[in-house]
Chains A and B, each alone.
Chain A
Amino acid sequence: ETGVTQTPRHLVMGMTNKKSLKCEQHLGHNAMYWYKQSAKKPLELMFVYSLEERVENNSVPSRFSPECPNSSHLFLHLHTLQPEDSALYLCASSQTSGGLNEQFFGPGTRLTVL
């Protein structure tokens, strides 16, 4: 148990659906991240939030929309996804933002887009 929870753990959706992924951290951290993990590829950093402000957006398609209402919660809103968006989506948090801090990961949401 890392202190970072994600729901749902599995999600199957059609290309026209709208869904949201939720992440919650119980560690008192100030930074939260969304990563995409596809088979045989390095983890792809999607978004970084620091103190509820987005500080990084790595050219992610607009069909992915993050939201960070407070420092403990992070959402990823999904709409009109493509089959190639099927992947494991990991949430992480760290004390402060950045690649110099240990990140604590949730178990991920396995997303399948039909």
Chain B
Amino acid sequence: AQSVTQPDIHITVSEGASLELRCNYSYGATPYLFWYVQSPGQGLQLLLKYFSGDTLVQGIKGFEAEFKRSQSSFNLRKPSVHWSDAAEYFCAVGINNNDMRFGAGTRLTVKP
């Protein structure tokens, strides 16, 4: 069955440190992959997406993600985290014409 796994429920990093959030998926075909961010009291906002082509994808707010087919992964990275990046991050896989599967989310805390 198709699934999305975000192994880390909660991550804490210091401001200015680098960040990597993990996402693994299980899907038979080439997936459409997304990362969304949800700030407190808000809906989800798209950070970036991968459909095909270059496996390193640039998104908004300085985020990037790399698709690795061999590892079934689509990890999100940022070289230097800002306090405003504290939020919950969701990886998602588009699997057919009417369904998008989301991971359970990773909550990011940023220490001063």
**Residue on A with the closest CB to B100?**
A99
Give the distance in Å from the alpha carbon of A66 to the alpha carbon of B90 in the complex.
25
B98 at interface, CB cutoff 8 A = yes
Give the distance in Å from the alpha carbon of A103 to the alpha carbon of B47 in the complex.
11
Tell me which residues from 34 to 49 in chain B have a Cβ below 8 Å from any Cβ of chain A.
Answer: 34, 36, 41-46, 49
- Tell me if B97 and A98 are in contact (CB < 8 A): yes
Give the distance in Å from the alpha carbon of A43 to the alpha carbon of B43 in the complex.
12
- Find chain B residues with CB under 8 A from A108 CB: 42-43
- Tell me if A42 and B45 are in contact (CB < 8 A): no
A55 at interface, CB cutoff 8 A = yes
B11 at interface, CB cutoff 8 A = no
Give the distance in Å from the alpha carbon of A83 to the alpha carbon of B82 in the complex.
38
- Find chain B residues with CB under 8 A from A55 CB: 98
Known: A92-B43, A99-B95, A105-B44. A42 touches B34 (CB 8 A): no
- Tell me if A42 and B43 are in contact (CB < 8 A): no
- Find chain B residues with CB under 8 A from A43 CB: 90, 102
Tell me which residues from 14 to 28 in chain A have a Cβ below 8 Å from any Cβ of chain B.
Answer: none
Known: A42-B4, A56-B98, A97-B98. A102 touches B46 (CB 8 A): yes
Give the distance in Å from the alpha carbon of A107 to the alpha carbon of B41 in the complex.
7
B104 at interface, CB cutoff 8 A = yes
Known: A42-B4, A42-B103, A42-B104. A99 touches B98 (CB 8 A): yes
- Tell me if A107 and B95 are in contact (CB < 8 A): no
Q: Closest approach, in angstroms, between the C-beta of B22 and any C-beta of chain A? A: 15
Tell me which residues from 61 to 90 in chain A have a Cβ below 8 Å from any Cβ of chain B.
Answer: 90
Q: Closest approach, in angstroms, between the C-beta of A69 and any C-beta of chain B? A: 21
* Interchain Cβ contacts under 8 Å between A and B, 14 examples: A2-B45, A42-B102, A45-B99, A48-B98, A50-B98, A56-B98, A97-B97, A99-B32, A99-B98, A100-B96, A103-B44, A106-B43, A107-B42, A108-B42
Which 9 pairs across A and B sit closest by C-beta, in order of nearness? Answer: A105-B43, A99-B94, A99-B100, A98-B97, A43-B102, A105-B44, A100-B94, A56-B98, A99-B99
